[in-house]
Chains A and B, each alone.
Chain A
């Protein structure tokens, strides 16, 4: 069993509040790892820290065996990691196609100045848009899409990134069953392609269906971890998370 992502004694505080409190977790390569916990338990903060949105205060973050003391967002491509956001963050005034193309094209400012997207880029973008069911909306503005379509477009950008580690922050929240099913299929396909996925989710049926491993957080700490069925039946988890 190979760990693709590990944290050791990770700490992140906001003022006097420990959003992440000496958290040590291991994410296994090629698995879907669920991340659950009550509101305010530090799940999104953990995603933000792992993706370089917030700097961590102390502890270690290890990607594929490489210890990253300081995580910078723009280095995510180098370390093969990407994420979605709990609150959708698209490039609103750009078209659906441009939202995908910007992830597919050159990152160096100098090279990108002389690059125009090619037929290859277009084909990749159209394939991705077909996968997420937005190929007929490619010239629409992102801001004109429905909530569900916006969630799908955010997932489309993740597909375009083709990263090895994908952090999904509540991708199913507020969606119709049909869209939920589509995103479930996308996540399962990503797993079949060998991607390692961290899935923050509150719907336990989805967690049971998709996840190979479950991590439960409470007050920034690790409460329990293991196989989803086993973890979700533990008394400590039921008390903390489900209030039972």
Chain B
């Protein structure tokens, strides 16, 4: 049963991350590969504030999105002028800087050794120490992020994001200062990704820089592309499938170390397959 709870928690965490990434990539059409960086920022803020300053994880659930959002606001202000491939390269550069900082700023991040002993969330004396209690917490946060995502999608802001994805120059003609929209959704996406990072750090209780590499960003892209870009239920389906499918390999007799390697291959193959044969994804209505 604990294994099933573990899978549900992972699906919830990646559901949050994929929904955040979908706002940036699926709704606004911004090819950001920095998802893993903001996920990592959330995780590191939780780990550092909880282990070094003694703050509770619940408090870091509020602090981490603010810090990630502020960082996104600062770097996004310079990224907003880039488009398409250039934007992707700029965000990849940011992710690489993040990885370098987490590996080398040892006083703060403990470098490659990572940060162990991250506490479980605690509220009014109740500790989310059991897998079942963590299932409820992670599902609760997933529901919050889903509601936020849906509210954004259904607002005039969401419609403008879709128009940016379709033809940014044409939208400007109608009085939209599109760079502000792009900056804002990049910031919101970063803040929501950080929530997933806090949840992940407190669930695993240990983080290191290798957990937040470009592979994680590609996984998030794959979840969106497979499930269906711009569709909340599609993105959640993508998170569900891309967590469950590699796990199923365990039951067909592959050893654990092979499963780990095959997981990346599966993500890559699914991404290529869907881009070629079903660019809208399983439940999607948009394509890049």
Contacts and interface: CB of A to CB of B under 8 A. Distances in A.
Interface of A: 51-53, 72-78, 82-83, 85, 89-94, 98, 101-103, 105-107, 109-110, 112-117, 157, 161
Contacts of B177: 74, 107, 109
B152 interface: yes
Nearest to B280: A93
Contacts of A72: 172
Nearest to A80: B175
Contacts of B157: 109, 112-113, 115
B170 interface: yes
Contacts of A75: 175
B159 A109 contact: no
Given A113-B184, A116-B156, A161-B175, 13 more contacts: A53-B169, A73-B172, A73-B173, A89-B167, A90-B167, A91-B163, A91-B166, A91-B171, A93-B285, A98-B163, A102-B160, A109-B180, A116-B154
Contacts of B286: 93
B160 A112 contact: yes
B152 A89 contact: no
Interface of B: 152, 154-157, 159-160, 162-163, 165-167, 169-178, 180-181, 184, 285-287
B162 A107 contact: no
B173 A93 contact: no
Nearest to B174: A103
* Residue from the set A74, A82, A90 with the largest chain B CB neighbour count within 10 Å: A74
A117 B155 CA distance: 7
A106 B175 CA distance: 10
Contacts of B287: 93
Contact of A93 (B154, B166, B170, B176): B166
A206 to B, nearest CB: 24
Given A93-B166, A94-B162, A113 B174 contact: no
Contacts of B285: 93
A51 B171 CA distance: 12
Contacts of B162: 91, 93-94, 98, 102
A109 B181 CA distance: 6
Nearest to A75: B175
B166 A94 contact: yes
Contacts of A82: 173-174
5 residue pairs, one from A and one from B, having the closest CB atoms: A77-B175, A73-B172, A91-B166, A105-B156, A112-B156
A110 to B, nearest CB: 8
A90 B159 CA distance: 14
B159 A106 contact: no
A115 B158 CA distance: 10
Nearest to B285: A93
Contacts of B176: 74, 107
Contact of B175 (A74, A93, A110): A74
A164 to B, nearest CB: 13
Nearest to B182: A109
A98 B286 CA distance: 14
9 contacts: A72-B172, A76-B173, A76-B175, A90-B166, A90-B170, A91-B163, A93-B286, A101-B159, A105-B159
Contacts of B167: 89-92
A85 B169 CA distance: 11
A119 to B, nearest CB: 14
A145 to B, nearest CB: 14
Given A102-B160, A115-B156, A116-B154, A107 B166 contact: no
Nearest to A110: B184
Contacts of A89: 167, 169-170
B156 A117 contact: yes
B117 to A, nearest CB: 39
Contact of B166 (A74, A92, A106, A109): A92
Contact of A102 (B154, B174, B184): B174
A106 B177 CA distance: 12
A113 B159 contact: no
A91 B152 CA distance: 19
Contacts of A78: 175
A116 B151 CA distance: 9
B30 to A, nearest CB: 14
Given A91-B162, A112-B160, A85 B175 contact: no
